[in-house]
């Protein structure tokens, strides 16, 4: 089933099940997807604005050019999505405990997002931008961060020996997050 250019507003999908199919250029405003199973559904060029998508199940879900704005996405396992043409944008989102393990998310932009305890292990984040993002306890392990932009990000801890950071951009004092694994004291 193909649904195009439809606006879904103030719907709790815990009570009203979203029909499996393809949603193209649809907008979801103020909707509740908390703990909803969206497995196998395709979203193309869709916008989720002010939605609660926490703990949503995304097994084999296709997310192509999907934008999340002012939304809550706690504990989402994006790594379970279908990786084909996966492209995401995040603005003013709560992404605590979300998992991006092994995903190819080149040039993904995170703006004003809380990414505390998010897992980026083995992900390809080349060219990604973390604009004004909080990365406290976020995991970067064997992650490709080449040309990534961390200049306005905070609280990150990235081991340069275990991650690819060539041509990544950092600012002072945030760059000290590259030294935390060495357990040294830095004074200003």
- Class of domain 1-89 as given by CATH: mainly beta
The yes-or-no answer to whether 1-89 and 95-188 have a common fold is: yes
128-170 tens-digit pLDDT: 999 999 999 999 999 999 999 999 999 999 999 999 999 999 9
pLDDT band at 26 (very low <50, low <70, confident <90, very high): very high
pTM here?
0.93
- Class of domain 95-188 as given by CATH: mainly beta
Strand ranges (DSSP E) for the chain?
2-4, 7-9, 22-24, 27-29, 42-44, 47-49, 62-64, 66-69, 88-91, 109-111, 129-131
pLDDT band at 181 (very low <50, low <70, confident <90, very high): low
């Amino acid at each position: 089933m193909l649904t195009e250019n439809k606006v879904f507003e103030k719907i709790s999908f815990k009570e009203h099940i979203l029909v499996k199919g393809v949603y193209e250029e649809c907008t979801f405003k103020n909707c509740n997807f908390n703990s909803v199973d969206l497995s196998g559904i395709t979203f193309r060029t869709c916008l989720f604005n002010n939605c609660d998508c926490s703990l949503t199940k995304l097994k084999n879900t296709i997310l192509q050019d999907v934008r999340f704005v002012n939304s809550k996405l706690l504990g989402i396992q994006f790594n379970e999505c279908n990786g084909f043409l996966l492209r995401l944008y995040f603005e003013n989102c709560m992404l605590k405990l979300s998992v991006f393990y092994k995903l190819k998310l080149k040039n993904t932009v995170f703006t004003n997002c809380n990414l505390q305890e998010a897992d980026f292990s083995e992900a390809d984040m080349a060219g990604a931008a973390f604009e004004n993002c909080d990365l406290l306890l976020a995991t970067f392990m064997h992650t490709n961060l080449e040309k990534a932009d961390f200049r306005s990000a905070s609280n990150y801890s990235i081991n340069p020996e275990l991650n690819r950071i060539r041509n990544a951009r950092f600012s002072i004092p945030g760059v000290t997050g590259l030294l935390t694994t060495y357990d040294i004291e830095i004074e200003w």
